Amino acid sequence: MRRRGGIGRHDRLKICCPPRRVGSSPTGGTKLNLTLMEFLRSIFNGPIQKPKEPTTEEAKKIESTRRDSPEETKALREETQAETLLRLRDKISLRKFKGGGANATFAVTLKDDGLGIFKPKSGENKNLRDNVQAGTYFKRARAAYLVDKCLGFGIVPPVSIREIDGEIGSIQQFIENASTYTELSFADRGELRSTHYDQLIALWLFDIIIFNSDRSPRNLLVSKNGIHAIDNDLSFGNDSLRHQIGYYYNAKIPSHLIQKLERFTSSETRKQSLRALLLELLPEKEVNACISRIERVARLVQAGTITKQLKDILTQYE
């Protein structure tokens, strides 16, 4: 008999040496009287339970832990070399930039041939939007860049915040040999949709995520390297979305964009890193709404396309 409260010496012997009977076998050895599983059931009075498979949510967390190395997490929070150079290089010259839009805009020549577009806080016009206050535009430009950086879309030129001549503002990397979308011919726009289809869809999703109220053809540059989303200052507030470059309802969403969004939403490390960075620049309500939009967009693109019937859901602020 088995002793209550534990396995006795005799039982331990049975585990180590299961019952057997002598008989001939193809190898001339002995055969087990019971299969191993039957024997274990006899010891533990019931079927042996297999380990439960992880849920979908658990599997995602496990996978995200494997993918986010300390180096990757550190890279999300630290400046790139381009950001650092924009922030620290000495100014050589500063001149008014033609075509800078509603806010004061300057072209900056930096030491060692660096070029940037500087927008000072003091030059921000008031009342451009109901829910984006003047004096915060420069922070929003940096916040938009950080969202692009964390998602890995790669369509926003680097942006830093710095002082120039005693004025604080945003400075964005200047894109040389580029044209605005406005300047493209009808034929050139058609070619762009063919050659840079993935980037244009990324831009559409990106503007929804940052709730951009000012994506006009003038605020998109095109170069031989692709598209460059500039002037993202009027974003993150609960104003009307404005995206005049093209909508991609019912179009195929590139798989690598789906994977990038899924990778972000399945990683608590990435979400918390972006949240911490954005909270230095934006009100908490706007940060929470932005993270929520990323998660919603990530869910909707899983189908491989977004139908126009989902427009109202896709473009919700929160």
Q: Which of 264, 214, 261 is nearest to 237 (CA)?
A: 214
Q: What is the dihedral of CA 271, 239, 316, 229, to 10 degrees?
A: -60
Sequence-distant (6+) residues with CB within 8 A of 82 are 158, 173
Q: Which of 113, 167, 121 is nearest to 141 (CA)?
A: 121
What average pLDDT score do residues 1-19 get?
A: 43
Angle, CA 143 vertex, CA 141 and CA 144 arms, to 5°:
65
What is the rounded CA–CA span in Å between residue 56 and residue 302?
14
Q: Which pLDDT does position 15 carry in this prediction?
A: 39
Q: Which pLDDT does position 3 carry in this prediction?
A: 43
pLDDT at 29 over 50: no
SS3 at position 120: strand
Q: Which pLDDT does position 68 carry in this prediction?
A: 56
pLDDT category, 217, cuts 50, 70, 90? Answer: very high
What is the rounded CA–CA span in Å between residue 83 and residue 68?
22
User: Minimum mean pLDDT among 70-74, 92-96, 242-246: which range?
Assistant: 70-74
66 compared with 277, residue with greater pLDDT: 277
What average pLDDT score do residues 148-171 get?
A: 97
What average pLDDT score do residues 88-112 get?
A: 91
What is the rounded CA–CA span in Å between residue 187 and residue 149?
31
Tell me the pairing of strands 159-164 and 167-173.
antiparallel
pLDDT at 213 over 80: yes
Give 14: exposed, middle or buried? Use CB within 10 Å, 0-12, 13-18, 19+.
Answer: middle
Amino acid, single-letter form, for residue 270 = R
Angle in degrees, 0-180, between the axes of helices 284-300 and 137-151, rounded to the nearest 10: 30
pTM of the complete model beyond 0.75:
yes
Helix, strand, coil shares of the chain, percent, nearest 5, are 45, 15, 40
Sequence-distant (6+) residues with CB within 8 A of 240 are 213
